[in-house]
Amino acid sequence: MAFATFGEFLAMGGHGPYVWAAWAVTAALLGGIVLHARSERRHLLRHLQRRARRERRLVGGEATVSHQRGAHNDDT
């Protein structure tokens, strides 16, 4: 083992504050990336669900209107 005690390990030969700060910043950034990706995924899924519902409504509405127009045109 490179360090005799756990205290020496934490001190990292006098470079402990820099080393542990770098680890903390890295962990925070990686955690932030994960949280941001999850948030973006939820937003995208909600957007796609709204879009699919809107397209189903439009297709259903156009089919009914198209049918009515066709029936109306045939009657005249």
pLDDT per position as a tens digit, 27-40: 999 999 999 999 99
- Cβ neighbors of 8 (< 8 A, separation 6 or more) are none
| Arithmetic mean of pLDDT, 43-59 | 94
pLDDT at residue 76 greater than cutoff 50: no
| Torsion, Cα of 39, 42, 44, 50 (10° steps) | -140
Beta carbons within 10 angstroms of residue 74's beta carbon: 7
> Whole-angstrom Cα distance, residue 25 to residue 17?
12
